[in-house]
Amino acid sequence: MANKDDHQRRFVSDFKRFFGRGLGILLPSIVTLWLLWQAFVFVFNNVAEPINRGLRVAAIRVTPMLYHEDDRPSWYTVTQEQVSNRALARRRDGLSELPEGAIEREIRLKQFRDEWNKHWYLDGLGFVVAIILIYLAGLLLGNYLGRQVYGRVERLIAKIPGFKQVYPHVKQVVDLIFGENSTMKAFSETVLVQYPREGIWSLGFVTGTSFKDIRAASGVETVSVFIPTSPTPMTGFVINVARSEAIKVDISIDQALRFIITAGVLTPDSVGPDGVTKSQDKSAAKLLSAHEAAERAFETENKKRSDEGSEESSSA
């Protein structure tokens, strides 16, 4: 009986250990794939698919100009019988009547969509067109004249009720991530400040110069510093400290974020700027030794507990 209980305890212990190990190995990959899939679905539904619809409408309108009436594709041809059947179906479904021309366009669009769906790779045209349009927008608006025109349009947009409450904040977030101004350059500076009290050093990122009221109240040059939290650096605190008290640290923002996300496990001393671990062979050997030691300690502890349980059973 004792051996059976001991076997069950070992099975439960091993199951928890290996299940936790498998979860730790697979979960990051599964979560990453899920996030990438959700991003793909969002971009496809909200960017690529609207562009694809526009491309289909444009293709239908251009087809008569490119082909002679006798050489047009089969999906373009709509017979009078199809129009009559469609009109009858609309009346039967209680829908409003449409002119024959509108019904013909509707049937032609459906036929072309069916033909489009036979070739799965055509859905990628929306992504390609979106990339080209974004590139052209950056090319046109990147020069002096483009920036001036866009600045005026932006000011007009910012005056529209509803837009003016949302647009400035969205623009700040986008500029923080993709911007090329001085604020974004300052954000790449990693500093060390004493926060939340003197004697405790926290890593932070300078986001810019504090506004004038703070500078006037402090009487010294102050900067705004974002202090990210671990393990989610997208949240944190914004503090204002004297420029002299923000000690610049000679590490990249990627290294600092890696240090914060891993709660200090990965340090800039052990990880290079490109994310590759230094002394990879030695680190791998140390990691293997630590893993084996942990396994031995775990097995010893289990054996000890089993022996204690057997002694208790015997004495009982």
**pLDDT per position as a tens digit, 48-91:** 889 998 988 888 888 888 888 778 888 888 888 888 888 888 88
Phi, psi of 193 (to 5 degrees): -130, 155
- Per 3-state DSSP, what percentage of the chain is helix, strand, and coil (rounded to 5)? 70, 10, 20
Whether 44 maps to a domain, the answer reads yes
Measured CA distances, 156 to 22, 149, 166, 168 (Å): 55, 11, 14, 12
Q: Which two tokens stand for residue 211?
A: 């506004």
Quote the CA–CA distance of 252 and 235 in Å, as a whole number. 19
Residues 92 and 55 in one domain: yes
Within this chain, do residues 99 and 118 fall inside the same structural domain, yes or no? yes
Domain identity same for 230 and 255 = yes
The reply to whether 68 falls in a domain is yes
Positive or negative: CA dihedral 236, 244, 211, 251? negative
64: number of Cβ within 10 Å: 11
Both 11 and 26 in one domain: the answer is yes
Q: Same domain for 28 and 111?
A: yes
How far apart CA 260 and CA 174 sit, in angstroms, is: 23
**How many structural domains compose the chain?**
3
Same domain as 115, residue 9: yes
Judge if 186 and 233 occupy the same domain: yes
Are the CB atoms for 105 and 134 separated by under 8 Å? no
**Which pLDDT does position 28 carry in this prediction?**
79
Q: Is the pLDDT of residue 139 over 90?
A: no
Identity of the residue numbered 75 = W
Whether 111 and 51 map to the same domain: the answer is: yes
**Domain assignment present for 313:** no
Output the CA–CA distances (angstroms, integers) from residue 102 to 78, 97, 99, in the order listed: 12, 10, 5
313: pLDDT confidence band, cut at 50, 70 and 90? Answer: very low
Q: Is residue 280 part of a domain?
A: no
Structural contact between residues 185 and 208, judged by C-beta atoms closer than 8 angstroms: no
Task: Please say if the pLDDT value at position 35 is more than 90.
Answer: no
Does any domain span residue 21?
yes
Is position 221 within any domain?
yes
115 in the same domain as 213: no
Which residues is 191 bridged to in the sheet? 204, 248
pLDDT category, 279, cuts 50, 70, 90? very low
Copy the structure tokens of residue 233: 């650096």
Q: Is 147 within 8 Å of 180 (Cβ atoms)?
A: no
Is residue 239 in some structural domain?
yes
Q: How far apart are CA 125 and CA 278, in angstroms?
A: 43
Helix (H) or strand (E) holding 304: helix 280-315
Across all residues in the chain, what is the average pLDDT?
A: 78
Once rounded to an integer, what is the mean pLDDT over residues 108-116? 89
Same domain, 222 and 108: no
Range of the domain at 206: 182-261
- Residue pair 205/225 in contact (Cβ under 8 Å)? The answer is yes
Whether 66 contacts 60, CB under 8 Å: no
pLDDT at 239 over 90: yes
199 and 249 belong to one structural domain? yes
171 with 119, same domain: the answer is no
Residue with tokens 């000690």: 247
The SS3 assignment for 155 reads helix
- Which of these three, 261, 281, 297, is where a domain ends? 261
Among 253, 210, 208, 249, which Cα is nearest to 233's? 253
Task: Determine, yes or no, domain membership for 288.
Answer: no
Burial class (CB in 10 A: 0-12, 13-18, 19+), 213: exposed
Q: What is the pLDDT of residue 280?
A: 45
Residue 194: band (very low, low, confident or very high) from pLDDT cuts 50, 70, 90: very high
Q: Could you tell me what percent of the chain has a pLDDT over 90?
A: 9
The DSSP 8-state label assigned to residue 199 in this structure reads T
